[in-house]
């Protein structure tokens, strides 16, 4: 569903599992930091609101969106969380750079999900304008960070249920 028809921060709290026994890694791009800081706040606050413990949320930073894949892999291998959320913001410019970075990060997260037995959640905004990014980082369309955190909680629960 297109974001313009769905607020990224709206979810049915009754359908979100308790996250009190879950561990999360969050990798945040420093590029477009005004946006990624807002995404991080959304993700972090949503995890806490749904029971995650502060000591079970590990946050790390990488220079840009392209580096999110390596950051997520390193976090998975060294800290062993139950899920990893990648947060970034790529805004279209005048060159094809946007396309290369967006495709690379997307493929990187697909590859991580195929290689590891934990979920890697793609919380990367790929917008045409800064205004669109602001709208999706706590603005009128909600916060992609909230959505990524809810997805992470639900996917950890899904993985736990498959182990039974």
Count of domains forming the chain = 1
Q: Which are the contacts of 82, defined by CB distance < 8 A and separation ≥ 6? A: 22, 23, 24, 118, 156, 159
pTM for this predicted structure: 0.94
Decide if 83 contacts 118 (C-beta within 8 A). Answer: yes
What whole-number distance in Å separates Cα of residue 123 and Cα of residue 26? 10
Q: Is 10 among the residues known to form the active site?
A: no
Domain-embedded: residue 78 = yes
Residue 3: which pLDDT band, with cuts at 50, 70 and 90?
Answer: low
> Can you give the three-state secondary structure of 46-58, one letter per residue?
HHHHCCCCHHHEE
Q: Determine the pLDDT at residue 2.
A: 58
Q: What residue spans of 32-126 are helical by DSSP H?
A: 33-49, 68-79, 97-115
Supply the CATH number for residue 80's domain: 3.40.50.960
Taking 80 as the threshold, does the pLDDT of residue 49 lie above it?
yes
| Domain coverage including residue 76 | 39-159
Domain-embedded: residue 105 = yes
Q: Determine the pLDDT at residue 124.
A: 98
Q: Out of 97, 111, 158, 160, pick the active-site residue.
A: 97
Residue 96: which pLDDT band, with cuts at 50, 70 and 90?
Answer: confident
């Amino acid at each position: 569903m297109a974001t313009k028809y769905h607020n990224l921060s709206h979810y049915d709290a009754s359908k979100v599992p308790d996250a009190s026994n879950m561990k999360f890694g969050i990798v945040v791009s420093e590029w477009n930091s005004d946006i990624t800081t807002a995404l991080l706040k959304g993700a972090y606050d949503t995890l806490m609101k749904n029971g995650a413990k502060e000591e079970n949320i590990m946050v790390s930073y990488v220079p840009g969106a392209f580096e999110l894949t390596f950051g997520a892999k390193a976090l998975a291998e060294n800290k062993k969380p139950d899920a990893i959320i990648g947060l970034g913001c790529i805004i279209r410019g005048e060159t094809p750079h946007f396309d290369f970075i967006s495709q690379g990060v997307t493929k990187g997260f697909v590859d991580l999900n195929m290689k590891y037995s934990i979920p890697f959640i793609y919380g990367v905004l790929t917008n045409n304008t800064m205004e669109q990014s602001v709208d999706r980082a706590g603005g009128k369309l909600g916060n992609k960070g909230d959505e990524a955190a809810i997805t992470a909680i639900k996917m950890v629960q899904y993985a736990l249920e498959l182990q039974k």
